[in-house]
Amino acid sequence: MIRDKGFWLKTGAVLALQLVCFAKTPTVTGKMVAYDPILHGSKNAVGIANKEVVIVQTEGQKTKYRKLVFLSFGTTQLDAKYFEGTEPFSVQALRDHSCDENYPNIVPQVSLSERGGTYLLTDAFQKTPPGRIKNLPCYDVTKKK
């Protein structure tokens, strides 16, 4: 019988990693509240990955608003119909604590003096904008569903 501590620690670590590997990627469903207009407007057609950052409103979950980060080599990360804010969409996304935001700057219209990280409200949320968002958890979108 093996009584080596190292053996049991290694076995436990391997089993824990196997459980993590088989975990299902969570799905985030909601309507787009706002998006980063600078990232949305500047897309390269070749060679460089393009980024899209949006804020969605989720229903029936503990966290009402979430930040989704799309990164791909295409010029379209999200279908244009979702930028109106009326139609819900679902994506598989992993939690990414490195891009969380406190008190994001959400505006009804963009001016030339706006800095990066400012979000423009979609048409559906222009008349009823969200209140001040204190904490905006970030999610990295792995693939569209």
The answer to the question of residue 10 being in a domain is no
Residue range 73-87, pLDDT digits in tens = 877 788 889 999 999
Structural domain boundaries enclosing 63: 25-144
Q: What is the pTM of this model?
A: 0.77
Question: Is residue 20 situated within a structural domain?
Answer: no
Give the length of the chain: 145
Say how far apart CA 33 and CA 25 lie, in whole Å. Answer: 23
113 vs 85, higher pLDDT: 85
Provide the strand spans (E) within the chain.
27-35, 50-57, 65-72, 89-95, 101-102, 105-107, 118-121, 135-136, 138-144
9 lies in a domain? Answer: no
Contact of 95 with 68, CB cutoff 8 Å: no
Domain total for the chain?
1
Domain assignment present for residue 38? The answer is yes
Residue 128 lies in a domain: yes
